[in-house]
Structure 1
Amino acid sequence: MSGYEPIDGASVPSRMNSWPLKALATTVLVGLGVTLVNQPYQTVVSSIDKLEATSLASDATANPIDAILANMTVEEKVAQMVQVAIFSVLDGANPDPRVALNKTRVRQYAKLGVGSFFGMNMGAVWTPEEWKALISDIETIYAEESAIPMIYGIDTTHGAGFVHGATLFPQPLAGASSFNLDLIYRMGEIEAKDSLAVGLPWIFSPILGLAMQPKWSRNYETFGEDPYLASQMGASVIRGIQAKNDVAACMKHFIGYSNPTAGNDRSDSVINDYELVNYYAPPFLAAVKEGEVWTAMETYTSVNGEPVLASKKLLSDLIRNDMGFDGLLVTDADEVNRLIDEHHIANDEKDALYMVFNQTSLDMNMILTVETLDNANGANLGVLADLVKGKEGHANAIKTTVELVNEGLLTEDRLDESVRRILQLKYDLGLFNKSKTAYVPPTPIGSPEDQRDAKAMADESIILLKNEPVTISGDAKPKQVLPIEDAGASIFLTGPLADSKAYLCGGWSLFWQGTDNSSMFKHGVSIRDGLSKSFANVDFATGVDVNGKAVEDRATVLAKAAKSEYTIVVIGEHGYAEKTGDIDNLDLAEGQLDYVRQLTALNSTKVILVIVSGRTRLLNGVTKDAAAVLLSFLPCEQGGEAFADVISGRVNPSAKLPLTYPKNSGNTHLPYYHRVNTACRDEFAECEMEWKFGSGLSYTTFEYGQVTLSQENVTSSGSVTVSVPVTNTGARAGKEAVLLFISQKVRHKYVPETKLLKKFQKISLKPQETVIVNFTLTAADWSYYAPQVGQGFRAVSEPGVFHVQIKHDTDCAKDNNLCKDFQVVA
């Protein structure tokens, strides 16, 4: 390491010095007669219990965190900056944490002052009681050995997914399909409540990357491809998670992770600065400014060949300086070691840690184990042994970081910046308050009330993409095939996902990779069970498995379909998460597609195609002959009943696609707002897609009236109100997401997008009811950010003509009452 010097300008002053309003208490220590300076920090911390109940004083300036810091050793500070995997303190494969917890190792961690634990049991799902016992045991040991409490963090994508019996919502991409911010907020509230009820105050959620690469295995964890939609959804779920100031959300993965060049998880992303600040950054900026998110997680990947974890540009200039984020920033799992083994920019752990702490504002290093475990009483490390195999030399994060400080290669001031943010988070969450009463959730984990909220989201996550008129027996004239209102209709249900609750949920559901075992899910029903409750004559055969292999005799299965009035075939994917979900081909399993073709070739049955998937798999023409198509991006436990209610007509579908659904392999990496018009084969027409962003039908009809503007000429400091009347002209009550897009006729510096979503509002209308939907546009809506990093976000409002477009499929090139122009004047 000789020859290394700290990098000038790399460290970022902490904004926590301002003692933010989100703190649990602002105190006047002098008024209490408490002297904190030069006391052992254990004494300092014990004083905090008294401060929690102190009356607030608006002019108070003292911050007990500073006093704690002043009495910590370098070793204690470095240990606070480490987060270690829970499976490193579990012995063997015993599923009960009360038995498996190695308290000797936990005590070693506590004596070191390790700041945090993360993760779940890789081989079993724990009950609420088991989680509470585990957390209680760890907290008890920490109280005996360390003055500073630990904080536990866990991945939570769609409910407290690793707490057995907790309410599981649809995956985020399904939630985004609802265009309903209230449902997303409620999901955040419930997953926070259920997590805190078992002692988990830190949630690694939400993912704010954009679903730009259809092959990517984590698309279902995103809120779709659109920056504005992802921004609004992300800020809403964060507000829900942090509503009570007792659970911290974590925006992730900062930044660019969701656009891997080849579509494979953790591969490099290529993103220019215009796209970085205008597409990828806005959801994170909204999380900071609107959601007031408390923590952030960086990403596994590199952007333009530079690993994000070692990037001053991204992890200091962009996130701290430009966005103003002042919360805790944590790595993803084992990321420092990836600088050595995967990115190959560091020789060893010392080299990697030097880069990370001198070049970025990273606060906490998420690792698998630390050096004290190398000879931990001969304990069986179980799954940990496989995860750290070949990386034994990288398990000295604490010792190595201390060496950097002792050798003058890392300043203690830099440690203080990070430790202050870590301690601040723990204080804000009340973890120092030993007299705090145990949290009692307002509703039990998995309560019927919570299940109703998950069901409401599942209802609004199902997208009706096709609904053809057909001749129904007993009816004089054709009508749309859905809904099926005859409870006695003969239905043949088939397909690999028709009888599986597990496949409706996907990854991060009970287990990291999900599970095939539907019996483990405590709530909800499969599509088969849901339909069987709604209809009297439901016949069933699997037909093919999820890999496309025939399960029953094909002739027998087709005969069942042929004699049924309706055939409902449910196709899609099995569960997966992260790297294990990589695929070489975006096509859905050919055996599944062939099976659908054979069913649609039958003339005697009306085929309803149901797609349940975590990403947009290519369908290769099978939708053409289906009478109806329904799609949901993993509605989870309540999905079976939700599909049954939509098919039977008890629920009127209202979801819309939150991304573009490609039709062929040539147009699979092209969001609807692409900037280059010649990107399509026909330069004068839109690229051919299976379905466009915003597609989604209803069982009723909505008529949009003439769009009007409050003014047609506006300055950059002014605003324009856009109004459009919407009428439910059908016979059913229904919900409609009203979408407003803006496009720029001419932009003089950078090629304008084809259009961009700037506002949306979901409305509910009774039959024949009309509402006028109003949107207010300001310069923030028609401007773009100058492609610069480290100088703040600079919005550019160019004078010129802008198009307002209502609805996703409106053609403003034609005379259309859903389009209107306004002009920005200098």
Structure 2
Amino acid sequence: MKKKVMIMVLFSLSAAMNSQDIKMTNSTIDNKVKALLTKMSNEEKVGQMTQITVTNFEVTGRKGVIDAAKLKEGIQKYHIGSILNVPNPGAPTVKRWREVIATISDEANKTRLKIPVLYGIDAIHGASYTQGATLFPQQIGLAATFNTELVKEGAQISAYETRASSLPWVFSPDLDFPRNPAWSRMWETFGEDVYLSSKMAVALVQGFEGDGVGSKYQVASCMKHYIGYGSTTTGKDRTPSIIPERILRQYDLTIYEAAIKAGAKSVMVSSGEINGTPVHASKYLITDVLKNELGFAGVVVTDWKDIIYLYTRHKVAESNRDAVKIAVMAGIDMSMVPEDFTFYTDLLDLVNKGEVPMSRIDDAVSRILKMKFELNLFENTVANPKDYPDFGSDKHIQKAYETAAESITLLKNKESVLPLNKNEKILVTGATANSMKYLNGGWSYTWQGENSDTYAADKFTILEAFQNKIGKENVLYTAGADLEIENDEEIEKAVALAKEASKIILCLGEKNYTETPGDISNIYMSDSQIKLALALAKLDKPIILILNEGRPRLISDFESKMNAVIQCYLPGNEGARALVDIVYGDVNPSGRLPYNYPRYPNSLEKYNRKYTESISEGEQNDDAKYEKSYLPQYEFGTGLSYTTFKYSNIKIDKKEISSSDEITVTVEVTNSGFKEGKESVLLYLSDNVASITPEFKSLKRFEKVILAPSETKTITFTLTPQDLKFVNNDLKWISEKGTYTIQIGDQKVDFLLQ
């Protein structure tokens, strides 16, 4: 039987940091790395740069069983430095993970130098490949909270539970900057704003890594996918991008720079290509910009097979050997090969013949060894279960619930149809209403997340959460529609049941997916679901539309017929409980959209569009005309509450500033309604005239506050000289004299940069 989770306050993970954790200074680690490097053979060095998937070491025909001979060959003969991925059949228990890591560690300890193997995992929204772990909203939902402290706390929990699984390295956060809503990995990002993405990136890195990854409660983070991966011209995964360097630096690179300053230990390179050059082949982007210009001192790892793909897909290499040389000389430190030893054999040959200098190899291996020392892997690789009593605990689950509750976004509430009365009989219907797959999405227990109903069987689907809330006798249910296949009988059944209910809860969205399997050619909601929505709308009964989707699927065919619209994104295992509490008013919604939700497939302007993106023939180019002719379904920052907030008395401490001045902005925010609520206060800046066409507005600051009814708080923001700058055609960050406009809510104020 499913049980309601006790509400508990999250303990401070920092207080749990064990004082016995071994901590070494950078100089100590550097000395250890240098000493070890001098003892290593060329074979051992090249092996450290080789990463192999764990399934390569399984007994043929017996999935999940480690083949001792294969593992010995990989570690003793090929000296592999890293293993990744999940043993078959997926989602091991904590105990099973410890057994796997112990087996690998024991074999590594039989080598001449006893260098530990670094294990990496796609722990994307919690320890998502461990049974019983706490799963949070996916990244796009984290962005919607506009609450960096909450996100950081969630990352601390994810680190704790990942380390409990004996896994020290997570391939997260995703810092891609998506420019096409069709892209299948949009939900892995923080949305379409650079500033929001940067702040969320810092929160995740700090949560994962804490004060030092040597703690048994922290993990090393891995920024991905460097760089320009989210800007495909086709909207399909792993397809080319065309990005001027000025744009790349002002937007994409800014996010990575923030995460690097926060201390991110590693970075994964984009599978795509920019302006005809695969990023894995770009010495300019990897070595000149990332390592030298930004000073990134961590490990640069490839994505899956991407050195091989330089030869087989991108066609910039004549052979696999040529591809290895190109990538390593570009600055790659570790190759996610991951299914054979071709990288090792080809690179060793290149080194022995002098085609790749030892200086490049030593640089790569030093970075890898340094991260291993920082993680204390030379001291211990297997977690002690006694150190992790809170794995999957109620207090961790409570934090996931709170995060889901703050992410879920109320987009429409016509005539205050929400919150609902708990005494009303409702119909719950729709393709996403009764499966955990659509709450969690991909990277959940398995790559595509198809087994979430099995692994999260003790969690509530949306249907079950409603039944738990108001009783099964008050909840009617039928699927109503498949995600893709039209079924007139199911629609007729839903219509018939709806006649017995006072309100309709219509749950629509997408299948579970990630990467290429999520590619689509049509960004509208599927025809089968549109047909169900239109059939139910004919009944003239209030409909609450619940969206479970990783990207905005267009709903303009029927949105006007919906009384309320709630965007859940992919809220994780506790998402259904949070959603139902919002629907009934036990939780006041506070999420905000981290992207523009488009209305039409050929009107995909971002919130910070250029003025010329909203021209209509014969009309003035102002915002009023934009609202009339180019209105998105919902704009970035949209998010309703069950209370109201009023902004007033915006003030700045200077009307005129120099290029070195900071400017302090204050505004009063009042809860003018009758219910306590959380409000994300967003500060936008507009450069009114510039030599590079300015954006309509750009987010520069945000803060989330809690206000009781009639309470007023004064919010203070400080803008720095950097906030006024943009990248010019000489690739320099500059600001220019002129007038700037600050906007918070409906309040605006101008100042002059002299």
TM-score bracket, shorter-length normalisation: over 0.9
Determine which of 312, 337, 342 is the counterpart of 1:341.
312
Provide closer, same or farther for how the CA distance between residues 573 and 188 of structure 1 changes in structure 2, counting only shifts above 3 A. Answer: same
Aligned to 2:74: 109
Q: Deviation per CA, 1:42-69: give whole Å up to 9, x if none.
A: xxxxxxx9xx979x89997971211111
Provide closer, same or farther for how the CA distance between residues 641 and 58 of structure 1 changes in structure 2, counting only shifts above 3 A. Answer: closer
Equivalence map 1:742-781=2 (5 Å): 742-748=685-691, 750-781=692-723
Structure 1 position 591, deviation (Å): 1.2
Provide closer, same or farther for how the CA distance between residues 312 and 553 of structure 1 changes in structure 2, counting only shifts above 3 A. Answer: closer
Structure 1 position 678, deviation (Å): 3.8
Aligned to 2:337: 367
Residue pair 1:336, 1:365 contacting (<8 A) in 2 also: yes
Aligned to 2:523: 586
Q: Deviation per CA, 1:763-822: give whole Å up to 9, x if none.
A: 001111110010000111111134567xxxx43121111110113xx5xxxxxxx01111
Aligned to 2:41: 73
Structure 1 position 430, deviation (Å): 0.3
Q: Deviation per CA, 1:609-629: give whole Å up to 9, x if none.
A: 111101111113311011111
Provide closer, same or farther for how the CA distance between residues 302 and 466 of structure 1 changes in structure 2, counting only shifts above 3 A. Answer: same
Provide closer, same or farther for how the CA distance between residues 401 and 740 of structure 1 changes in structure 2, counting only shifts above 3 A. Answer: same
Structure 1 position 664, deviation (Å): 0.4
SS of equivalent residue, structure 1 residue 404? helix
Determine which of 674, 682, 700 is the counterpart of 1:739.
682
Q: Deviation per CA, 1:542-587: give whole Å up to 9, x if none.
A: 1111214227443332122123111110000110110011011111
Provide closer, same or farther for how the CA distance between residues 680 and 593 of structure 1 changes in structure 2, counting only shifts above 3 A. Answer: farther
Task: Tell me the amino acid that sits aligned with residue 821 of structure 1.
Answer: D
Provide closer, same or farther for how the CA distance between residues 190 and 92 of structure 1 changes in structure 2, counting only shifts above 3 A. Answer: farther
Equivalence map 1:16-35=2 (5 Å): none
Residue pair 1:86, 1:121 contacting (<8 A) in 2 also: yes
Provide closer, same or farther for how the CA distance between residues 165 and 259 of structure 1 changes in structure 2, counting only shifts above 3 A. Answer: same
Determine which of 283, 286, 292 is the counterpart of 1:321.
292
Residue pair 2:302, 2:336 contacting (<8 A) in 1 also: yes
Residue pair 1:268, 1:303 contacting (<8 A) in 2 also: yes
Determine which of 705, 711, 733 is the counterpart of 1:795.
733
Provide closer, same or farther for how the CA distance between residues 94 and 607 of structure 1 changes in structure 2, counting only shifts above 3 A. Answer: same
Equivalence map 1:269-418=2 (5 Å): 269-289=241-261, 291-358=262-329, 360-371=330-341, 396-418=342-364
Q: Deviation per CA, 1:372-424: give whole Å up to 9, x if none.
A: xxxxxxxxxxxxxxxxxxxxxxxx21121121122221111111101100000
Structure 1 position 368, deviation (Å): 2.0
Equivalence map 1:425-824=2 (5 Å): 425-434=371-380, 438=384, 440-469=386-415, 480-484=416-420, 486-515=421-450, 518-536=453-471, 537-550=474-487, 552-603=489-540, 605-668=541-604, 670-681=605-616, 683-684=621-622, 685-686=625-626, 687-748=630-691, 750-786=692-728, 794-807=732-745, 810=746, 818-824=747-753
Aligned to 2:3: none
Superposed CA RMSD in Å reads 2.1
Determine which of 67, 82, 94 is the counterpart of 2:50.
82
Aligned to 1:391: none
Residue pair 1:521, 1:637 contacting (<8 A) in 2 also: yes
Task: Tell me the amino acid that sits aligned with residue 460 of structure 2.
Answer: V
Whole-Å separation in 1 of the counterparts to 2:638 and 2:109:
55
Structure 1 position 601, deviation (Å): 1.6
Provide closer, same or farther for how the CA distance between residues 286 and 311 of structure 1 changes in structure 2, counting only shifts above 3 A. Answer: same
Aligned to 1:134: 100
Whole-Å separation in 1 of the counterparts to 2:544 and 2:695:
36
Structure 1 position 529, deviation (Å): 1.2
Residue pair 1:745, 1:800 contacting (<8 A) in 2 also: yes
Residue pair 1:523, 1:637 contacting (<8 A) in 2 also: no
Q: Deviation per CA, 1:514-555: give whole Å up to 9, x if none.
A: 115513215530111111122241111111112142274433
Task: Tell me the amino acid that sits aligned with residue 654 of structure 1.
Answer: S
Task: Tell me the amino acid that sits aligned with residue 364 of structure 1.
Answer: M
Whole-Å separation in 2 of the counterparts to 1:549 and 1:192:
43
Residue pair 1:802, 1:821 contacting (<8 A) in 2 also: yes
Residue pair 1:542, 1:552 contacting (<8 A) in 2 also: no
Whole-Å separation in 2 of the counterparts to 1:320 and 1:787:
23
- TM-score normalised over the length of structure 1: 0.84
Provide closer, same or farther for how the CA distance between residues 177 and 186 of structure 1 changes in structure 2, counting only shifts above 3 A. Answer: same
Structure 1 position 188, deviation (Å): 1.1
Determine which of 360, 367, 370 is the counterpart of 1:424.
370
Aligned to 2:9: none
1:263 has 2:209 as partner: no
Whole-Å separation in 1 of the counterparts to 2:749 and 2:387:
50
1:174 has 2:148 as partner: no
Structure 1 position 316, deviation (Å): 1.2
1:153 has 2:120 as partner: yes
Structure 2: gaps of 5 or more residues? 1-16
Identity of aligned residues (%): 34
Provide closer, same or farther for how the CA distance between residues 432 and 508 of structure 1 changes in structure 2, counting only shifts above 3 A. Answer: same
Whole-Å separation in 1 of the counterparts to 2:243 and 2:29:
43
Residue pair 2:98, 2:382 contacting (<8 A) in 1 also: no
Aligned to 1:225: 192
Structure 1 position 225, deviation (Å): 0.6
Whole-Å separation in 2 of the counterparts to 1:322 and 1:523:
49
Query: Which structure is larger by alpha-carbon Rg, 1 or 2?
Result: 1
